[in-house]
Structure 1
Amino acid sequence: MPKQSPATSKAQAKLKAPAAKRPASQAQAPVFNARIVGINYDILEELTGYAVRRAQLSIYADFTASLGAYDITPQRFSSLVIISNNPGISQTRLAEVMGIARSGVVAIIDNFEQAGLLERQDAGDRRAYNLHLTKEGQRQLEKYKQAVKEHDDRVSQQLTIKERQQLRALLGKLCIESK
């Protein structure tokens, strides 16, 4: 592992909660086997949702192994990317984009703010804040992006570039848009 700056070490230490204080969802993920020989899956073999969920579990396990040292989950990573590319986004809008409760976004933002990766700026309403990554937040995000790219290449290595594009397009068709 490359040598870290004091700011990087400090930011990562603040992001990490002691194991006893971490939610169970952040505990060490069990090894996931998407298909166990000798098990009859019956109708599950025909269900698109089941196949997508099994793939997601497998991909999440690799993501956790790849970025666990940074205590970055897919949700945390996604929020950093969205904030970086949409400076000044509100917490409410971020929650909408992420598809999570506003209280969940507040917890993520609190964590990033304590780690020095993000700052809230007054939006003219005491209940609303605009979100901006700090220079350290941008620096850390670049490191996370590289790790995520390596993870994504690893989990999709059996697919050609064209198949990867096709898979993303097909998965996009499964997203049900609210009217």
Structure 2
Amino acid sequence: ITPNQVNKQIAPEVNPISWILGHCFAHFHVVLCQTCQESQLLSDDAIHYYRYGTSKEEIERTESPLTFEELVDKYLEISEMSFTYLETLDDIDFKEVLFPKIEETLGTSIQRLSLHFLGHVGQIVLIRRSLGNPGSSFMGGAHPDIRKKMLDEWTSWWSESKSRFKG
């Protein structure tokens, strides 16, 4: 993927890939860092910019609080902190009510996060295809060895490529 592709808005009602990822990353952060661990790795401005309900007009007139490079690096930090935290929990902890107003448990929040990411990944695939970049298939990714290989390849690519996404 190229810097132009991650920031391209293909239609007025479709957010660019960079915003969609920031939106998912902010949701992940709010649940697993901010709420569960009382740690804030994203600024309030970033959370607001990427939140559901921020208008297209506000997004257009506001500069993104993070470059794509910063966004991905921040997500790597958020996910490391989150998965390390989740590994410390017992089964009973996933039944704890995390959001009392909607009576949502940690387990239900994780299900919501997963479905949220999956829905937006589908959007990103369609955006990439519309930009003439279908990407590679991820169907083989279920086997642990293949997942590890794909992660290693992506990490290597990101280390070599991320400076192109500075702004």
Q: TM-score, normalised by structure 1?
A: 0.32
1 or 2 for the larger relative contact order (CA 8 Å, sep ≥6)? 2
Rg (Cα) greater in structure: 1
More helix by share: 2
